[in-house]
Amino acid sequence: MTEKMNKGQLLSEIAELRQKLSVLEESLAHRILPEKRFDVLDTIDDMVAFQDTDMHLLWVNQAAAASVRSAPEALVGKRCYQIWHNRKAPCPGCPILKVHSTGKKQSAEMATSDGRHWLVRGLPLLDDEGNVTGVIEITSDITRHRKNEEELLVRARMLDSASDGICLINPGGEFIYANDMFCTVHGFTRDELIGKNIREIDTNKTEEWYKWLSSELREKGSLLFETTHYRRDGSVFNLEVNSSEVESGGQRYLLSVERDITERKKADETIRGLYEKESTLRQELEEEIEKRVTFTRMLIHELKTPLTPMIAASDIITESVPEGPLRRAARSIYNGSQMLSRRIDTLIDAAKGELGMLQMNLESINPLDTLKSVAEDTAPLAQRRHQILKAELPDSLPDIFGDEERLRQVVVNLLDNSLKFTPSGGTITLRARKERKKIVIEVEDTGPGIPAEQQSHLFQAYHRGADPNQHGRGLGLGLSLAKIIIELHGGTIRVESREGKGSTFSVFLPVPEKRKRG
């Protein structure tokens, strides 16, 4: 006898035999058993029997006869349920009985008392009018397959508590196992899923896709892919699936580990949308910055162009005419033009700082020389205002890496603010010291102090204090620009102030480490 055929091979063999069976069907329709035996049916291990409409056996193959240790001829005329089940009536749920009543193919799994499992299939034989004239019964022993599946199920059930959905699918595409998470995600009970075909919950997957999947799995052993499934309520959700083939008893089963990635997909879409929005906003911002740069350049040009001859002409007049009303008028024009020019320079620097375009000419400098020079230049202004300017500077300070002109600009601005807000008779003190790896520069005054609610806004551009006595002097850019310059030096600036007690502005600049000689 040839090697046993598995279920898939049997179905293929039966399909090929259908044409040969047409002669037999015609004979059965007239209740005549053909003399010619189909030897090929005697070469398979599945049991094949032909029945009439009363379920009497008309012919059986060798496997069917051998199952009850009898000759095929001895079984003719008996009913199948009498021979194989020792019953006086058909078994409950008998698929052969259903073929007689429906005229359609039927199949069912049945178990016998000896613990064996059988797949029983019935094929109807019809006359020209579509009436059932007989049935071909094919019974396959699937005990080994069921035991293999049971072994797989024992292993699979250990995965019931896994956080990912896990399922096992037989060669026919039917679920034979699904863990708790798989059932929960899909909205089915385990009983509802077992026996259901994967195609019933998979979305828009063609036969070609499954052929491709099978080919990929056989070539690679496992495959990670994304797909979509239907839930029990009909809604669709996204899955990431890691599938691999498991072979048992000559059969290939599909083991899949699945993860619901619906929320991840939504997050990806949200991130993609935000990225596109950010990209659009960035482009708009860059265009706006370009417009602002262009406008600032034009504004500076328009303001500076008339100032240059005014400053030059007033300076010449001041030096050329004797002391008197005309010279005082020329000096006023010159001083006013210079102040306006400085304000324009501050506006330019602030605009550059906001746009990240302010350049520093960094080099090794000694801040002590700069501080002494600023103190000397500021002293006459303090005297005219009847204020006291103290310069409490050490004998030496270490060199730093900085832009001397920009550092001077910051200190001048801090002193100018203190002079502006300190009343006549008040004191402004300029200090400097080395503190650990930093140089600390302080400007302290005995002015009215700064309200606590305003201190957090002092270094913001265009912020101006609420002192009614100052009548809105200044653009509110000095401290903002000072902060930008100091940060470009790698330092920080801060303020400490109490109303009625004055204010102290502190600048912290890093001291570079000395290189060791090799």
The residue type at 258: E
Q: Beta partners for 400?
A: 365
- Which two tokens mark 58? 């008309």
Q: What pTM does this model have?
A: 0.44
Tokens of 216: 């990929």
Containing structural domain, residue 43: 7-141
87 and 23 housed in the same domain? yes
Burial (CB count within 10 angstroms: exposed 0-12, middle 13-18, buried 19+), residue 6: middle
Walk along the chain (518 residues) and give the pLDDT tens digit of each residue. 334 444 444 445 444 555 444 444 444 444 444 444 566 777 788 889 998 988 999 999 988 898 889 998 899 999 988 888 888 888 888 888 899 889 899 988 887 777 788 888 899 988 888 888 889 999 888 877 777 767 666 666 666 778 899 998 988 889 988 888 999 999 999 899 998 999 999 986 788 888 888 888 888 888 999 999 999 999 999 999 999 988 776 778 888 999 999 888 888 888 988 889 998 888 888 888 777 777 777 777 777 778 778 788 888 888 888 888 887 888 788 777 877 777 777 777 777 776 677 778 889 999 999 999 999 988 988 998 999 999 999 999 999 999 998 899 899 989 988 999 999 999 999 999 999 899 999 999 999 998 888 888 888 766 655 454 444 444 467 888 889 889 989 999 999 998 888 999 999 999 988 765 54
Q: Do 172 and 190 belong together in one domain? A: yes
Q: Tell me, yes or no, whether 414 lies in a domain.
A: yes
Residue that has been written with the tokens 């051998």 in this structure:
66
Are 124 and 193 in the same domain?
A: no
Determine, yes or no, domain membership for 86: yes
Q: What is the pLDDT of residue 156?
A: 60
Q: Is residue 434 part of a domain?
A: yes
Q: Tell me the C-alpha distance between 159 and 178, whole Å.
A: 9
74: CATH: 3.30.450.20
Which among 189, 192, 205 has a CA at the least distance from the CA of 243? 205
> Does residue 127 share a domain with residue 29?
yes
Q: Are 349 and 369 members of one domain?
A: no
* Residue 505 and residue 368 in one domain: yes
Q: How far apart are CA 94 and CA 107, in angstroms?
A: 9
DSSP state for residue 174 in the 8-state scheme = B
Q: Are residues 61 and 152 in the same domain?
A: no
Report pLDDT for 464: 59
What pLDDT score was predicted for residue 352?
Answer: 73
DSSP lists the bridge partners of residue 239 as 227, 260
Report d(CA 419, CA 427) in Å as an integer.
9
Residue in the block written with tokens 């990635």: 261
* Domain-terminating residue out of 302, 336, 354: 354
Contact 10, 44 (CB under 8 A): yes
Same domain, 25 and 115: yes
86: left (phi over 0), alpha (psi -120 to 50) or beta: left
**Across 79-143, where does the E strand assignment appear?**
106-111, 117-126, 132-141
CA distance 397 to 194: 85
In a domain, 198, yes or no: yes
Strand 427-435 and strand 388-392: the pairing is parallel
| Calpha distance 459→178 (Å, rounded) | 64
* 515 falls within a domain: no
Number of structural domains in the chain: 4
In a domain, 321, yes or no: yes
The CATH number of the domain where 439 resides is what? 3.30.565.10
Choose the final residue of a domain: 354, 384, 411.
354
User: Same domain for 128 and 244?
Assistant: no
Residue at 516 is within a domain: no
Q: Which among 84, 109, 141 is the end of a domain?
A: 141
Judge if 212 and 300 occupy the same domain: no
Burial (CB < 10 A; 0-12, 13-18, 19+), residue 389, is buried
CA 58-59-61 angle, to 5 degrees, is 160
> Nearest CA to 416 among 368, 460, 375?
375
**Any domain includes 517:** no
Can you list the alpha helix ranges (DSSP code H) found in 85-142?
Answer: 95-102
Do 281 and 252 share a domain, yes or no? Answer: no
Does one domain contain both 276 and 411? no
